[in-house]
A and B are shown apart, each in its own frame.
Chain A
């Protein structure tokens, strides 16, 4: 295939017509700066082939902003000696005209021709995608996609295989592909790509279960229907049988009989009731009579009782009366005794008074005497007291002052001692006749002295010594001493004593005197508590009393009138009170006795009265008659009672014999049975009605007919389903076998492809190997003993490998007589200069066999390709019609 020219108009940046022509059959380097339109031209060529002229996705082919544009492309090329001319426009003006050596085609027909020629396909709808691009997708390398080759090979797979079939040395299957396609199509009607049923097949399978379920449901309903029919038959049989027999009639008869018997029993029971009543009244009468009889008996007893009471009362009365006299005597005795005791007492009293008076007089005298003693004593004491007091006054001295004196004395002594201690002591022992002068003193012989102050010691013939005792203290002491002496002196003066001893002596005397005073006072006090004055008054009182007593005594009767041997008053009193008590006791007894007598006579009278009354009434004639009558009545009643009892027993026996409880039970049982039998029959009748109604409704549904229909449908479905299943299986088997075979064939293309690939690889890497697999994909790459995948190579290397592979495919296609136009848009940009050189060699070689359009913006890189570079800018500047 050789592309001659490309003309575009209203195509993206090519608003005005643009013509690319003058293309050679080998390599064509087309250069232009960025945005010159290189890729746009490539796009145009692709659109011309890939996009359907009616495509709605061609919007982006328009120039910007021109919504009314109709992008147009014209291509002219040769293939196999034929001239092909394609004229395609999109959007606003849709057309596709193809002329192949004069024969014209339009529209889809033209598009199909193109697809067939180059080995690609159109999408069913929408824009063309890489999976549609087939062989051109492999050979026309888009910018930046040179390193990716796998997808392109996969998409071109079928087309490649179809195109390359003729290369296989054996006879290939003509139309084999078409066959596979057809088989696949037919299989696709039955199964999805995933092998799942679709369409009618799927529907049939889906209908199986509901169909079966419907059938099952009908079956069960038919079953139900039949059950109901059987039940109807059964119930109807029962109903009719029972209807004929009418068992309740007999039962009702028996019931009536039982009821009759019961009524009879009831009448008997009525009679029994009457008898009962009669018996009861007789018994009542008997009881009444009996009570009367008892009453009579009671009356008799009562009479006896009353008689007894009368006798008892009488006896009592006699007893009481008997004791009267004794009591009376006793009483008199007591009275006299009392009188005597009283007199004794009086006299005893008198005696005592006299004695008392005498005593008190005596006493008063004694007391008087005592008092005067005391009085004199008191006077003595008073005297003593006076003296003591005087003494006290004489020895007046304050204790406190004495104490102070003592203290002062002591202090003085202490101070003196101290001073002496402090004082300088001087001892002397003079020889006989010697003398010294110490201070004022002349000392001789021996002695000692304390010096309290500076003292001069003069020793005649020697000199003078001044001895100054040391110490402050001493001075102080001295001073103190002086002070104390002064004080002492003063105190002594105050006290009026010569010295402490005298003071103390005086003090002691004072104290003694005071003690005396105290003692005397105490004595006085004890003697005369109230004082002398009171003593005197007491004395006066006592004297008066004495006088009175004497007077009183005189008033009393002389002692001789009194009886001899009088007891003491107290005793007399006791005697008297005893007598009094005895007397009152006797009086009480007497009183009581009177009362008893009264009561007893009262009782006696009552008892007597009652007894008499009762006796009279009981012994009356009327009464006697009544008693007789009563007895006879009683006998009669008892007889009758016996009779009635017997009748009642008979009746009861009769009733019992009739077994009323059993009859009652029979009635119940029979009644219930009859009801139940009738009820059951009614129930049956009802059920029959229900069943008939239900069956009428169900019968109308024609269930078995429905089932027949359902089953027929189901069977038909199954048959058809099975048919389709068999067909699907057969198609699957067929497809499998066909594709297997074909695959085997394809694999045989592996070798020639490998050969072509090797041819190029050795130019690039002398010792390397790139293997192509059974899917005709380049993969394993071996170099310097190392093996890896092509995909693992660097970007640049992959670009190179990708291109080489494509060239190998192109070679193979060429062998098969297929068109091989190569379009490389900005390829090998990542190749270094060394590799680029090798690639150029390769490309040049390939260009001997294929037309290559190489678009670049680096024309310098491609100067040495042996052909003139086509400058796009220059072309654009050229005006085109």
Chain B
């Protein structure tokens, strides 16, 4: 029974600007890890082939090292890989693919679908109908030729394309070229493996997006999977199983803190995150000094514990309670200043006042700590 792995959107070479260098390099590395994992899964599940539906590389001019690492990462699975150029790595006259070929980085078992047509895998009796993107911007349905492409009889007809299915995914998709929703039917495909939508998505029984194997943005659209597709015989309905491949999980939380218990909730959730988390927190509302302390503490620990924690507390105002103030023992004019800053938070310079207040509070607390260690 022919069986293959469907994956896409590896985006190798992407830089994660919003994180600091350590984290971003770890995240970049994780992407190679994803390829290795795919190889492992292919071996584990006895796949005949691995089909990559576009955007293997995030850009045309990635370094040679990057190219080699990518192909090296596939070495785990010795069977055929079919890679399709997407919109990020279109098969232009000169492209990352021609470069890869030139530097002999492409192993023999990796087929590059640089031209529209059929790639035959005789041993596996799979015919891959490829619709690579060959221009910088494509506006037409490149899968149209599928309808008239013939393949050897008794072989599996699997379509491999990159774009947005018309009428289904309206917004936010990367590539501009459309794909007919009923292509699998009109081209008599057993399965149509799509790329460009970075989350796992079923279009119809025979048409799926696998999404990226390793998340690379804060979008909760189910990234981090590969699809294991088994077709018993040509013409049969494919059985599709999602295999998790993600190393890191990306979470983006937007929280409004009002009462103390909100902090408790947040901290609890924070605690429960797995270690392979990439977390982005946007906080707003108001918080007491004590709460701020707890929060800062928790975040500091989280930073160390998880892959990456980024947060924005600028809209989280400090609202010290009486106890807070007492605890600070801000006597005389220092106390006055505290009050002033509190008041200013609701004025024009919210952030600055908030920050100043935070600094003052922390200095006072430190002083207290020194006095009463």
Contacts and interface: CB of A to CB of B under 8 A. Distances in A.
B15 A709 contact: yes
A555 interface: no
A731 B356 contact: yes
B21 A712 contact: yes
Interface stretch (A195-203, A253-261, A732-740): A732-740
B20 interface: yes
Interface string A698-738: 11111111001101110110000000001101110110011
B13 A744 contact: no
B332 A170 contact: yes
A880 to B, nearest CB: 46
Contacts of B351: 726
A342 interface: no
B18 interface: yes
Given A233-B92, A702-B62, A741-B337, A172 B331 contact: yes
A734 B64 contact: no
Q: For chain B, what secondary structure do more than half of its interface residues adopt (helix, strand, loop), or is it mixed?
A: helix
B328 to A, nearest CB: 11
Contact of B61 (A182, A234, A702, A715): A702
Contacts of B336: 741
A716 B66 contact: no
B136 A171 contact: no
A82 to B, nearest CB: 24
Interface string A485-521: 0000000000000000000000000000000000000
Contacts of B16: 712
Nearest to B340: A737
B92 A229 contact: yes
A705 B13 contact: yes
A291 B118 CA distance: 96
Contacts of A857: none
Contact of A741 (B66, B333, B352, B359): B333
A179 B364 contact: yes
Given A222-B61, A704-B59, A176 B15 contact: no
Given A170-B332, A702-B64, A711-B15, A236 B93 contact: yes
B17 A176 contact: no
A178 B364 CA distance: 10
A126 to B, nearest CB: 31
A749 to B, nearest CB: 14
Contact of A173 (B17, B335, B352, B355): B335
A692 B61 contact: no
Interface in B326-363: 330-337, 340-341, 344, 349, 351-353, 355-356, 358-360, 363
A734 B16 CA distance: 35
A182 B59 contact: no
Contacts of B330: 173
A174 B333 CA distance: 9
A15 to B, nearest CB: 48
A183 to B, nearest CB: 7
B102 A708 contact: no
Contacts of B24: 712
B332 A745 contact: yes
B331 A176 contact: yes
Contact of A229 (B15, B18, B95, B337): B95
A703 B333 contact: no
B63 interface: yes
Which of the listed residues A182, A234, A737 has the most CB atoms from chain B within 10 Å of its own CB?
Answer: A737
Given A731-B356, A733-B353, A704 B331 contact: no
A741 B333 CA distance: 6
B93 A176 contact: no
A230 B333 contact: no
Contacts of A186: 359
Given A715-B18, A716-B20, A734 B356 contact: yes
B172 interface: no
Contact of B356 (A178, A234, A709, A733): A733
B94 A692 contact: yes
A176 B334 contact: yes
B332 A712 contact: no
Given A175-B367, A225-B61, A705-B61, A716 B136 contact: no
B21 A716 contact: yes
A742 B333 contact: yes
A251 interface: no
Interface string B224-248: 0000000000000000000000000
B359 A730 contact: yes
B364 A230 contact: no
Contacts of B352: 726, 729-730, 733
A226 interface: yes
Nearest to B66: A705
A695 interface: yes
B99 interface: yes
B61 A176 contact: no
Nearest to B63: A702
A692 B60 CA distance: 15
A696 interface: yes
Contact of A172 (B64, B95, B332): B332
Contacts of B256: none
Contacts of A854: none
A699 B18 contact: no
Interface string A618-640: 00000000000000000000000
A474 interface: no
B125 interface: no
Contacts of A44: none
A232 interface: yes
Nearest to A176: B334
Contact of B363 (A170, A183, A704): A183
Given A178-B367, A726-B352, A729-B355, A229 B333 contact: no
A713 B24 CA distance: 11
B315 interface: no
A687 B355 CA distance: 61
Nearest to A235: B93
Contact of A702 (B66, B332, B344): B66
Nearest to A729: B352
Given A709-B15, A731-B359, A737-B341, A173 B93 contact: no
A699 B364 CA distance: 57
Nearest to A231: B93
Which of the listed residues A183, A225, A236, A734 has the most CB atoms from chain B within 10 Å of its own CB?
Answer: A734
Contacts of B305: none
B62 A733 contact: no
Interface in B78-119: 92-95, 99, 102
Contact of B341 (A229, A700, A734): A734
A468 B334 CA distance: 173
A178 B360 CA distance: 12
Which of the listed residues B16, B335, B363 has the most CB atoms from chain A within 10 Å of its own CB?
Answer: B363
B201 interface: no
Contacts of A745: 332-333
Nearest to B351: A726
A737 B332 CA distance: 13
Contact of A738 (B21, B63, B334): B334
Interface string B164-199: 000000000000000000000000000000000000
Contacts of A173: 330-335
B4 to A, nearest CB: 30
A236 B134 CA distance: 14
5 contacts: A700-B64, A700-B99, A708-B13, A708-B17, A730-B353
Closest 3 CB pairs between A and B? Answer: A708-B15, A702-B63, A741-B333
Interface of B: 13-18, 20-21, 24, 58-66, 92-95, 99, 102, 136, 330-337, 340-341, 344, 349, 351-353, 355-356, 358-360, 363-364, 367
Given A696-B102, A705-B62, A727-B359, 19 more contacts: A172-B331, A173-B330, A174-B331, A176-B331, A182-B363, A225-B60, A229-B92, A229-B93, A229-B94, A230-B92, A698-B61, A699-B61, A702-B65, A704-B13, A705-B15, A713-B21, A726-B351, A734-B360, A737-B356
